[in-house]
Amino acid sequence: MIDLKAVEEVSAKFQGDTDALARELKRVQSIKCRLKRQKGKATYQDQMTEVLTYEQVLKEARQLLDPKAKSVTHYTQEDVDQLDYDETIKAIRSIQSKKTLTRWLTDVEGDNDEYRAAVAIEAMLVAHRAEVAPVDEGHIRKSDLQTVVDTIEESGKVSQAQVLKMLRGLL
């Protein structure tokens, strides 16, 4: 179980600098890789546990500082309804790429669950594209706001300063 206070401390330590956080994460992953080759070491278990815990804290801090949107291949109708015109176009291109890549995973064309799911999502996106119009410059996208809300809900108790920082990022 990851300690949320440790995640908050790490994100405060890097002061929102995602590049520095990425470098630290890369450094810790290198340490983990070198440590994997030293399984005969007497302190291997303790060191590996410590490195894995710190790596997970860094990943959680990265998610807190730079939340990732939901993948197009996992969209539901509610997710599609929140997209604006530009995001819908981008999602259609993405799901069409997924369809192309998964079409021939079996001997029979399109005979797999990934392809069928991509076809269903594409149909939802195309129908949604017909309903929406391009977004004006002064408006906030629903999906950006939903990403902030999801991050707050998933992270548990997030400090007020962190919430304000994410909301200011939308302006």
Residues 10-32: tens digit of each pLDDT: 988 988 889 999 999 999 999 99
pLDDT of residue 160 exceeding 80:
no
Q: What is the pLDDT of residue 100?
A: 94
Tell me how far CA of residue 108 lies from CA of 84, 104, 111, 119, in angstroms.
35, 7, 6, 16
Q: How far apart are CA 113 and CA 15, in angstroms?
A: 43
Q: What is the pLDDT of residue 50?
A: 95
Q: What is the DSSP letter of 54?
A: H
Q: How far apart are CA 96 and CA 87, in angstroms?
A: 14
Counting Cβ atoms within 10 Å, is residue 106 exposed (0-12), middle (13-18) or buried (19+)? exposed
Residue-wise pLDDT for 34-65, tens only, equals 999 999 999 999 999 999 999 999 999 998 88
* Average of per-residue pLDDT values in the chain: 88
Residue-wise pLDDT for 112-145, tens only, equals 999 999 999 999 999 999 898 776 667 777 777 7
